């Protein structure tokens, strides 16, 4: 069944791949991004041409997850044009790389603003409609770093992704009685085929950064990045995240998995999440709230 889908951060990486894959699966997809009439104008034009050429319903919409008004306007545009909204995909994110101490508090706040508060802004704009509708799907694109192996110099990103995962877990239970389903997608560290590492931000405090990178941690950054790349199988394909996302959206309501791992490097997140999610189920059973573990039908 065709769904109306709004996906954040769809100008590149997993977001762009997923937007195209979902449109090819027959859904109406709103690929949201910032600066549609600025730096992303050419991309918006390319996607319009792609949609027409392939006969798919892929549209672009202006949405800045750091701007509450922008988020609200995007949701209203989707509703005005399509008459409904079935799926929201929290994909927008930004990575930074460097010693944790060298990042200012303001830089950490910016990480949380994009990766955590951005999801809250969209939820507050979209969930009132989904709750009234009595049905929907919230898809969170997380990271294996929240519970898997955590190489050095990615602390602000890891911390923000862990916060988003915790938020997603709580939301899942709190939305279930409204008939809203939740799935957390858990990609591994794909070092090729996305722009995550290429576009990662740097610490603002160059002096502290140098104390690490030119001191006892000289060479560790290069070793961490090359080590991650070496763990990744040669045939690792980031488009697999998009394919799994399409599978989840296409499943019957009430049958979707709580968590889906796409981690060719197998950094251990799947093992740890299995235990964490089992404990979650057991505590809900002990509280006699097992109905919160699946959406009301």
- Of 30, 112, 157, 171, the catalytic one is 157
Least Cα distance to 13 among 112, 92, 116 occurs for 92
In the annotation, is 157 catalytic? yes
Residues contacting 211, CB < 8 A, separation 6+: none
Q: Where are the beta strands (DSSP E) in the chain?
A: 4-7, 28-33, 58-62, 87-90, 136-141, 180-187, 259-262
Q: Is the distance from CB of 153 to CB of 271 less than 8 angstroms? A: no
Report how far residue 46's alpha carbon sits from residue 48's, in angstroms, rounded to the nearest whole number.
5
Report how far residue 196's alpha carbon sits from residue 167's, in angstroms, rounded to the nearest whole number.
22
Catalytically annotated residues: 157
């Amino acid at each position: 069944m065709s769904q109306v889908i709004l996906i954040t951060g769809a100008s590149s990486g997993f977001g762009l791949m997923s937007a195209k894959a979902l449109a090819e699966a027959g859904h109406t997809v709103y690929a949201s991004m910032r600066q549609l009439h600025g730096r992303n104008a050419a991309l918006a034009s390319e996607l319009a041409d792609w949609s027409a050429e392939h006969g798919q319903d892929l549209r672009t919409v202006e949405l800045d997850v750091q701007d509450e008004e922008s988020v609200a306007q995007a949701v209203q545009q989707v509703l005005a044009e399509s008459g409904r909204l079935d799926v929201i995909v929290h994909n927008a994110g930004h990575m930074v790389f460097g010693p944790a101490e060298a990042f200012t508090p303001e830089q950490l706040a910016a990480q949380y603003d994009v990766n955590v508060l951005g999801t809250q802004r969209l939820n507050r704009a979209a969930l009132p409609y989904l709750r009234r509708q009595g049905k929907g799907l919230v898809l969170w694109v997380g990271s294996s770093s929240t519970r898997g192996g955590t190489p050095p110099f990615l602390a602000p990103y890891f911390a923000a992704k862990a916060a988003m995962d915790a938020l997603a877990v709580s939301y899942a239970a709190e939305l279930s009685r409204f008939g809203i389903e939740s799935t957390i997608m858990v990609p591994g560290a794909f070092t090729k085929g996305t722009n995550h590492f290429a576009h990662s931000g740097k610490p603002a405090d160059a002096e502290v950064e140098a104390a690490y990178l030119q001191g006892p941690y000289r060479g560790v950054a290069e070793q961490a990045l090359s080590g991650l790349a070496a763990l990744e199988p040669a045939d690792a394909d980031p488009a697999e995240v998009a394919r799994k996302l399409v599978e989840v959206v296409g499943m019957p309501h009430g049958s979707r998995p709580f968590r889906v791992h796409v981690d060719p490097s197998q950094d251990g997140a799947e093992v740890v999440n299995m235990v964490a999610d089992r404990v979650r189920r057991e505590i809900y059973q002990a509280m006699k709230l097992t109905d919160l573990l699946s959406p009301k039908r």
